[in-house]
Structures are given as structure tokens and as C-alpha cells.
Amino acid sequence: MIEVQKLKRRISRRRPPAAHIPLNQGIDVAIKGVIPASLLLRNHPEEIFHGSGSLLIVNAELRDIGLALQAYSFDHEGAYPPVRVDCMLGGHFYQLPCELTESGYLPAPPAGSFMAAGVEDRFSRGYTYKYRTVGTLIYNRTTVVETGAYLWVPDGFPDNEQEDGRTYSSPAESPVSWVLYSEGPNFDLDRMREMDYPVPRATWFDPQTQTGVIVRMRLQNGRQIGSFEM
């Protein structure tokens, strides 16, 4: 319980220092979680949104959300929030879990917004980052499907990834616990679906083509990997 309280304080009660933070130094410490990404945005808004800094900020924010997921898991006997798909909300599928907002791990969304949390995808304005896991799916707000949430994982993933793979819907069996991602600057949903995104590395963001999802995921063994390593 002590560790959980420390995590909660780190997520929701951190206060940024008043001093100005240089961009290069700020990006590095934001990625490591020393300062919140929001502080770096306030210091360097133009540089962040009009350069490679935007990618680094997304990675820093995904790291913070991953920390929130782990804190939630500690409070719920190792379980993670369900996945939600709501046909009535259009592109707001796979939103960040409202449980993280209700538990105080993430900020609330703006009034009148369809977003489930007040954390906006830097590359998809008006939408949260996306969240995927295996197990429970809540469909159209009321229908609960116990094994409706799934991930396609390549055989040998992540260290010896093969072309073949399988779909997992059981938390006990899946090599991947959860996935967080930004759609990135040139998201192509049809292409990503054909490639069984977001776990295979071929679907991760490629800085050369500026395509793919900017991803962070937790493996069953606790290791976290993603496009931030590339």
C-alpha cells in the first residue's frame, strides 16, 4: 500500500519547478519521468509542436500513463482496466480507461468532451491516446464480453519476432499485458488493421516514412518496450 501511495503522489501531485528548463535537457528528463511532460510543453510549445520534440513528448506522456496503469493494477490485485468500444462515439474507440480518471491517476476530460480522460493524443486532437489489453471488452457502454479484448502477437515476440503469430484474449496466456499508443502523424487505419497492429514491430512508428503508431507496451514479465527504444 505504501508503494501505491507513492505512485499516486508521483502521478497526480507532482509540482514543476519554477525555473526554465532547456529543451534538450527537458526532453531527456521527461522521458525518464523526472518531470511531467506538461511542464516541458509550457516551456517550449512552439519547438515541441513543430519539430521532432513532439514525438519525444508523446513517448514521455505514454510513460506517465503506463505508470498510472501500474498503480491501478497494484490497487486491483494485478488486474488492468477493460477495453471499451462504443459505436456511437465514432473515432473514440480504445480510449484511455475511465477507471484511471475515476481513481485519480489521470486528469478528468474537459466539460462537454467525448474523451474519457484529460490526456489528448498530440497527433489526434480531440481524442485520447489509445489503450489495448486482453480480456474484458465493454461494448457500447453496457455489453460486457469477458474475452472480447484481444491482441495479435507474433511468435517469438519481442526478441525473436516471426511472421506467424496468434491472437490472445486471456490475460494469463498473453505475452503482452497492455499497449498504449498514439496514432502518429499519418495514421492509416486500414493498413494498420491489415498488419494486426499495434504489437508487431512493423506497425511501430518509422521516423523515415513518418508512419506507424507510437507505442509503449508492458510484457507479462514486467518489461516495457516500444517505439521509444528506436
Q: Is pLDDT above 70 for 112?
A: yes
* Domain carrying residue 62: 2-229
Q: How many domains does the chain have?
A: 1
20-34, 53-67, 107-121: lowest mean pLDDT where? Answer: 20-34
Question: CA-CA distance, 73 to 177, in Å (whole number)?
Answer: 11
**What integer is the mean pLDDT of 102-114?**
92
**Residue 83 phi/psi, 5° resolution?**
-90, 145
pLDDT tens-place string over residues 67-104: 999 999 999 999 999 999 987 666 788 999 999 999 99
Count Cα atoms within 13 angstroms, Cβ side, for 79.
9
Residue 130 pLDDT = 97
The pTM of this model reads 0.79
The whole-chain average pLDDT of the chain stands at: 83
CB of 47 within 8 A of CB of 100?
no
CB of 65 within 8 A of CB of 180?
yes
User: Which cell numbers hold the place of 135?
Assistant: 480480456
Q: Is pLDDT above 50 for 20?
A: no
**What is the three-state SS of the chain?**
CHHHHHHHHHHHCCCCCCCCCCHHHHHHHHHHCCCCHHHHHHHCHHHHHCCCHHHHHHHHHHHHHHHHHHHHHHHCCCCCCCEEECHHHCCCCCECCHHHHHCCCCCCCCCCCCCCCCCECCCCCCCECEEEECEEEEECCCEEEEEEECEEEECCCCCCCCCCEEEECCCCCCCEEEEEEECCCCCCHHHHHHCCCCCCHHHECECCCCECEEEEEEECCCCEEEHHHC
Q: Is pLDDT above 80 for 157?
A: yes
